[in-house]
Amino acid sequence: MSLINTVPDMALTARVDDLLNWTRKSSVWYMMFGLACCAIEMMQTGGPRADLERFGMAPRATPRVSDVIIVSGTLTLKMALRTKLLYDQMPDPKYVVSMGSCANCGGLFQLAYSVCDGVDKVIPVDVYVPGCPPRPEALTEGLVKLQQKIQQEKWLVRKTDPVGVRA
């Protein structure tokens, strides 16, 4: 005898994937990787007006406990080596949000000799948020898109390889 849908006021049925993903996307902790100007806007997004905590996103200082690294600001070549190290220190499953023009493609600092043109040269990126700097609303939309991406992940099926690094 099956219990499914026999006692609707006591038991809910759902797919395992949906349930797991819903719990995971509602508690995405981001590592404070504020490099430059976008870091200020990231702080403002975490502030009282455009609150990120209502999505369950808390700022963490160390990569060991964070789910997503929000690369906010210009990545210099000197810093790019350390960024790879920090990304490797994050435990799986991990995501990368590239915030702002400089992290997306070098931004207005493509003319510079010491800037790495885009963080996707060192680590694979899941969401690109454009702007210089992006408004809190834009960053929030980017993180909501990340939540939608997390919602669609499949756990009971073998996972495909992540997006390759464009060096």
Partner 1 sequence: MGLAGFEVEVQRRVAGGGVVTEDMTLSMGPQHPSTHGVLRFVVRADGEVMKEAIPDIGYLHRSIEKIAEKVGWHGFIPYTDRVDYVAAMFCNHGWARAAETLGGVEVPKRGEYCRVIADELCRIHSHLLGVGSMAMDIGAFTPFTHAIREREYLNDLFEELCGARLTFHYMRIGGVGWDLPPGWSDKVLHFLDRFEPIVEEYDRLISYNKIFVERLANVAIISPQDAVDYNLVGPNLRGSGVSYDVRRDDPYSVYPELEFDVPVGRGEVGTLGDCFDRYIVRMREMQQSCRILRQCLRQIPDGPVIAKVPRNFKPPAGDCYVRVESARGDMGWYVVSDGTAFPHRCKIRTGSFAAISMIPLVSRNLMIADLVAVIASFDLVAPEIDR
Partner 2 sequence: MEAASIHARLRERFGDAVGDLTGSGRTVGATVEPARIAEVAAWLRREPALLFDCLSTLAGVDYPKRSVIQVVYVLYSYRLRHWLTLRVDAPRDDPRVPTVTGVWSAADWQEREAFDLLGVQFEGHPDLRRILMPEDWPGHPLRKDFVEPQEYHGISTSRESLLKA
Other Cβ atoms within 10 Å of 17 Cβ, number: 15
β-partners of residue 59 are 30
Residues 96-135 that bind partner 2 (CB under 8 A): 105-106, 110, 113-114, 116-118, 121-122
Give CA–CA dist 127/130, Å, rounded.
10
Other Cβ atoms within 10 Å of 137 Cβ, number: 11
Q: List the strands of the sheet with 95-99, edge to edge.
A: 59-60, 30-34, 68-72, 95-99, 127-129
The listed partner (partner 1, partner 2, none) that binds 41, CB under 5 to 8 Å by sort, is partner 1
Question: What residue ranges bind partner 1 (CB under 8 A)?
Answer: 31-37, 39-41, 43-44, 46-49, 61, 63, 73-74, 76, 78-79, 81-82, 85-86, 108-109, 111-115, 132-133, 135
The listed partner (partner 2, partner 1, none) that binds 142, CB under 5 to 8 Å by sort, is none
Site of interaction with partner 2 (CB under 8 A): 77-78, 80-81, 105-106, 110, 113-114, 116-118, 121-122, 167
